[in-house]
Amino acid sequence: MWGEAPQPQIGADEVLIRVYATAFNPADVSVRKGTYLEAGEAPIVLGLECAGVIEGVGENVAGWSLGDRVCALLNFGGYAELVAVPATMVLALPDHLSFEQGAALPEGLCTVWSNWLLGNDPSLVRTCLIHGGTGGVGSLAVQVAKFRGHTVFTTAGSHAGLEMTRRLGADHSISYRDQDFVAEVLMHTGGEGVDLIFDTQGASYFARNVQALKADGHLALIGIQGGTNTEVDLMQLLRKRVIVSATMLKSRPSYGPHSKSEIVRRVRDDLWSGVEAGVIMPQIGAVRDLKDAASVHAEFADGDLAPGKTVFRVQEEPSC
């Protein structure tokens, strides 16, 4: 439903962003279906990330000025012309990136990096398997892994998708339709498996992911596209001393330990130089007008979205 909303009021620690682009996330569809929010949560304006220009600065905020080009992780609100956001959840948009590109970064990079940090010391990771390397999150995960010098295995469903992941730098692109990713990983790692698996599938891949992990490896679960319930032989996890982490970015608070602000800070400190250097680039599948959002949601449900991230143009940028 589209409508007029009151202008967001910024708190002392927040900035107001004029939104030029936001991005589609699968969670937007879950919210519309009513399966994402906690029972009793108020209706919200969709949109978990955005890019635009700072138009208001709270009295406690240092480091941001009116007119700054930024992108931001949001607690919803990106499908609107203006959004108020904690200043600590904002990142400076490099000049070489458009607003559409900027809007495709915060949710994916924060998801990737927060999960990476939950396993063993990230500097010990040498090899990883990233499921869905063509997706909004997966395509960033592949680039983050290469930025950090890892050997990357990734899965994709189509010939074009496999090609895309190779272009992003994946060392081993595996068809999840025609190949057995466990066999491929074990064959190319001398039977050892990988240090880290970044998984969007959940139940359908759980047991096979454990097989493809190295001893002391980390299985980072970020999605449940393959279901929520599975049976697992826990002895396999014990024997391999597997770390399993499962996280949802949205359920984190804005401030404090383990918060969105903390994750944005780590993304800025650890990964943003890769974005500034153009080594980590958002992969845009399509740019659509925000008024087409309902069609985009339907296309997602039918599996018809182009590989990469679908972003929305929210309003015209003023011409200079």
Ligand X SMILES: NC(=O)c1ccc[n+]([C@@H]2O[C@H](COP(=O)([O-])OP(=O)(O)OC[C@H]3O[C@@H](n4cnc5c(N)ncnc54)[C@H](OP(=O)(O)O)[C@@H]3O)[C@@H](O)[C@H]2O)c1
Residues that bind ligand X (CB under 6 A): 25-27, 107, 111, 131-132, 134-138, 155-158, 161, 176, 200-201, 222-223, 225, 247-249, 307
**Rounded to an integer, what distance in angstroms lies between the CA atom of residue 26 and that of residue 13?**
29
Nearer to ligand X, 56 or 308 (CB): 308
Closest CA to 205 of 186, 188, 180: 180
What does DSSP assign to residue 242? -
284 dihedral zone (left: phi>0; alpha: psi -120 to 50; beta): beta
Nearer to ligand X, 232 or 248 (CB): 248
Q: Least distance in Å: CB of 10 to ligand X?
A: 25
Nearer to ligand X, 123 or 228 (CB): 228
Of all residues in this chain, which one has the CB nearest to ligand X in the complex? 135
In one-letter notation, the amino acid at residue 199 is D
Instruction: Answer yes or no: are the C-beta atoms of 95 and 286 closer than 8 Å.
Output: no
**Rounded to an integer, what distance in angstroms lies between the CA atom of residue 296 and that of residue 304?**
9
Q: Least distance in Å: CB of 108 to ligand X?
A: 7
DSSP H/E element including 146: helix 136-147
Q: Least distance in Å: CB of 43 to ligand X?
A: 20
Nearer to ligand X, 161 or 282 (CB): 161
**Through-space distance between the first and last CA atoms of the chain, rounded to whole angstroms:** 33
Q: Least distance in Å: CB of 9 to ligand X?
A: 28
Q: Least distance in Å: CB of 243 to ligand X?
A: 16
**Rounded to an integer, what distance in angstroms lies between the CA atom of residue 267 and that of residue 270?**
5
Q: Least distance in Å: CB of 66 to ligand X?
A: 31
Instruction: Answer yes or no: are the C-beta atoms of 227 and 204 closer than 8 Å.
Output: yes
Nearer to ligand X, 100 or 107 (CB): 107
Cβ count within 10 A of residue 238:
9
**Rounded to an integer, what distance in angstroms lies between the CA atom of residue 191 and that of residue 187?**
6
Q: Which two structure tokens, joined as six digits, stand for 266?
A: 């780590």
Q: Least distance in Å: CB of 237 to ligand X?
A: 20
Nearer to ligand X, 37 or 64 (CB): 37
Nearer to ligand X, 18 or 297 (CB): 297
